[in-house]
Amino acid sequence: MVRVSTGNPSAASPDRLIALSDGIFAIAMTLLALDVRVPPGLDSERFHEALRESLPDLAAYALSFLILAIFWRDQRQILVMSARVGGIPQHFALAVLGVIAIVPFPTSLLAEYGAREPLAVASYAATICLIDLLQLAMFATLRGRHGVREIGEWRDTAADLGATVLVFGASVPIAFFFPQAAMWIWLALFPAKVVLGNRERRRANEGAHDGGTED
């Protein structure tokens, strides 16, 4: 059953905020690819050398693209689950988008310096962790102020967001001592997301089979 709270008369449909989010995520994802390039006019030897040197850029691009795709999915899911949006939750949503827009910068630091500079690794991890903390805050205030649909959905979403905070938050202090190990820790996020996604789908199927869950 859908619970709708209308305690804030200024709250509005989240459709326009979802559209703004889609646009900012698309721009950030596109900017990630700008650092992936090979200079023109190279001979064969220098061409192959430039390709090898571009591998860190490609790896950083792929990692950030996947992470932004996850954040985009979570942002849409949170806003769609919300009955209405406005006030403090909207400020958190805009803060998320503000940090999303700067993700290409720590991504370029990671690609350029990688494990050679612990601060580059720590900065990247801290940026991702901050985005997820802001999404958690947005989600918590949306649920408290405007209502969120179906108890199973918000529990699964909270667990999904918490996994990213745990993985990237734990890697920040580790990065200052073992930057390469911190980057390996990030890979744990993807199997965790798969497990949580399977659990969410299983609960959704069970709920559909039982005719829905009342909150």
Return the domain boundaries, the chain. 15-210
- pLDDT confidence bin for 148, thresholds 50/70/90: low
> How many whole angstroms separate alpha carbon 56 and alpha carbon 112?
7
> How many whole angstroms separate alpha carbon 155 and alpha carbon 162?
11
pLDDT of 57 higher than 70: yes
DSSP-based three-state secondary structure for 148 = strand
**Neighbouring residues of 6: CB distance < 8 A, sequence distance ≥ 6:** 83, 84
Extract the tokens encoding 167: 């993985």
pLDDT of 161 higher than 50: yes
Extract the tokens encoding 187: 């890979």
Give the residue carrying structure tokens 């979570």.
74
> How many whole angstroms separate alpha carbon 106 and alpha carbon 122?
9
> How many whole angstroms separate alpha carbon 6 and alpha carbon 103?
35
Which pLDDT does position 10 carry in this prediction? 47
Q: What average pLDDT does the structure give for the chain? A: 81
pLDDT tens figures, 13-42: 788 888 999 999 999 999 998 877 777 777
Contact 116, 56 (CB under 8 A): no
Which pLDDT does position 52 carry in this prediction? 83
Most confident of 9-18, 67-76, 201-210: 67-76
Amino acid at 129: C
Stronger pLDDT, 82 or 174, i.e. the higher one: 174
Contact 81, 154 (CB under 8 A): yes
Mean pLDDT over residues 190-215, rounded?
Answer: 67
pLDDT of 146 higher than 70: no
pLDDT of 7 higher than 60: no
> How many whole angstroms separate alpha carbon 48 and alpha carbon 46?
5
pLDDT of 188 higher than 80: yes
pLDDT tens figures, 90-139: 889 899 999 999 999 999 999 989 888 999 999 999 999 999 999 988 88
